[in-house]
């Protein structure tokens, strides 16, 4: 089978599954999780076309969906897994992964960053059609939330706060000449800091840790990898020392060299009406949310 034939088969399968699985779309707002609603609204605002019938690709977006590229991809995967969006029939050929097995989930059959997306088919859809999307956005804006959303907001706040810290850490590492490597150890240090300190204060710990590591790299005969490990160790130790010695920790403000992610705008500006005040408060500790963000 030649390449064009494989492309045609993949498109036919995606289109068939799009229409067939639209029947399972959550037409009742009570079936939507808070993370569904916030992510869907953010994706429509950033990626939606003029008619709001299709969402463009992450690669061609005018801004960031999530604070980091990895988190942006995870948002799309989450929406696909919840059957809230689907690869568009207009997705370019280069975005189709032809080596995937037919039984693979949809995210494994397209390239997440370059694919375009559509909501479920509204022609065959549930009651109200496009009204469900208007209802979701109105509920987010007015704050008249289902009880389950209120109970879930702390978890989502914490999740986005962690990834904003990841994005800032990567930024300052690159600014000081280091190649950022963020894994579970760094995520654990960020989570530990956020148990007590705000995002802005955690930014301060990061900046100082990377600055000290850069100074050590210049003064001593060590490699950049060793210096970066020193920065990560500093990020772990500084919040601990700040607590033990009762430091008056300065909160950094938002870095305007980094674009605000659309999901942060929707949650903190549109939904919670916090704006940049989020940099001044500590997200709820992991022990209360029952969740520790561990992936990047």
Looking at the structure, do residues 70 and 164 belong to the same domain, yes or no? Answer: no
Domain membership flag for residue 187: yes
Looking at the structure, do residues 132 and 153 belong to the same domain, yes or no? Answer: no
Domain membership flag for residue 295: no
Q: What angle do CA 98, 100, 105 make, to 5 degrees?
A: 125
Pick from 144, 164, 181: which residue ends a domain? 144
Looking at the structure, do residues 67 and 119 belong to the same domain, yes or no? Answer: yes
Looking at residue 55, what DSSP letter applies?
B
Looking at the structure, do residues 137 and 218 belong to the same domain, yes or no? Answer: no
Pick from 80, 111, 144: which residue ends a domain? 144
Which tokens hold the place of 177?
């000449």
Looking at the structure, do residues 189 and 115 belong to the same domain, yes or no? Answer: no
- The reported pLDDT for the residue numbered 122 is 53
For the chain, how many structural domains are there in total?
A: 2
Is the CB of residue 212 less than 8 Å from the CB of residue 230?
yes
| DSSP string over 88-156 | -TT--GGGB-TTS-TTS-GGGTB-TTT--EEPSPSTT--TTTTHHHHHHHHHHHH----HHHHHHHHHH
- The reported pLDDT for the residue numbered 90 is 78
Percent of the chain with pLDDT over 70: 78
Residue 274 has a CB neighbour count (10 Å cut-off) of 15
Question: pLDDT digits over 101-110, tens only?
Answer: 554 455 446 7
- The reported pLDDT for the residue numbered 254 is 80
Looking at the structure, do residues 118 and 162 belong to the same domain, yes or no? Answer: no
Domain membership flag for residue 294: no
Q: What angle do CA 112, 264, 114 make, to 5 degrees?
A: 15
Pick from 144, 173, 207: which residue ends a domain? 144
The tens-digit pLDDT sequence of the chain (296 residues) is 566 666 666 666 666 565 566 556 666 777 889 999 999 999 999 998 887 788 999 999 999 999 988 899 999 999 988 888 888 877 777 777 655 455 445 544 678 888 888 876 554 444 444 567 788 889 999 988 989 999 999 999 999 999 999 999 999 999 999 988 888 989 999 999 999 999 999 999 999 999 999 998 888 778 888 989 989 999 999 999 999 999 999 888 888 888 889 999 999 999 999 887 777 777 766 555 544 454 44
Looking at the structure, do residues 81 and 112 belong to the same domain, yes or no? Answer: yes
Looking at the structure, do residues 166 and 281 belong to the same domain, yes or no? Answer: yes
Percent of the chain with pLDDT over 90: 44
Looking at the structure, do residues 192 and 173 belong to the same domain, yes or no? Answer: yes
Residue with tokens 């975005």, as numbered in its chain: 95
- DSSP H or E stretch at residue 190: helix 184-194
Per the structure, the complete domain to which residue 49 belongs is given by 3-144
Looking at the structure, do residues 159 and 38 belong to the same domain, yes or no? Answer: no
Domain membership flag for residue 296: no
Domain membership flag for residue 115: yes
Looking at the structure, do residues 94 and 175 belong to the same domain, yes or no? Answer: no
Looking at the structure, do residues 115 and 173 belong to the same domain, yes or no? Answer: no
């Amino acid at each position: 089978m030649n390449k064009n034939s494989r492309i045609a088969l993949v498109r036919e399968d995606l289109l068939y599954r799009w229409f067939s699985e639209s029947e399972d779309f959550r037409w009742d707002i009570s079936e939507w999780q808070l993370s569904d609603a916030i992510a869907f609204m953010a994706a429509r605002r950033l990626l939606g076309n003029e008619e709001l019938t299709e969402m463009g690709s992450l690669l061609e977006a005018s801004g960031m969906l999530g604070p980091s590229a990895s988190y942006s991809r995870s948002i799309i995967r989450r929406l696909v897994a919840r059957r809230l969006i689907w690869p568009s029939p207009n997705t370019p050929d280069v975005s189709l992964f032809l080596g995937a097995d037919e039984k693979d989930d949809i995210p494994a059959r397209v390239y997440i960053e370059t694919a375009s997306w559509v909501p479920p088919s509204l022609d065959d859809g549930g009651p109200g059609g496009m009204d469900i999307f208007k209802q979701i956005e109105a509920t987010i804006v007015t704050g008249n939330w289902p009880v389950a959303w209120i109970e879930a907001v702390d978890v989502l706040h914490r999740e986005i706060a962690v990834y904003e810290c990841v994005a800032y850490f990567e930024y300052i590492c690159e600014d000081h000449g280091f190649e950022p490597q963020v894994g579970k150890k760094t995520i654990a240090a960020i989570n530990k800091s956020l148990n007590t300190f705000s995002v802005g204060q955690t930014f301060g710990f990061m900046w100082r840790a990377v600055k000290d590591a850069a100074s050590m790299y210049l003064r001593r005969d060590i490699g950049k990898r060793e210096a970066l490990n020193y920065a990560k160790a500093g990020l772990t130790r500084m919040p601990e020392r700040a607590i033990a010695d009762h430091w008056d920790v300065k909160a950094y403000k938002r870095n305007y060299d980094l674009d605000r992610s659309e999901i942060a705008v929707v949650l903190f500006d549109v939904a919670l009406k916090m704006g940049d005040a989020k940099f001044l408060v500590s997200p709820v500790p992991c022990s209360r949310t029952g969740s520790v963000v561990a992936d990047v």
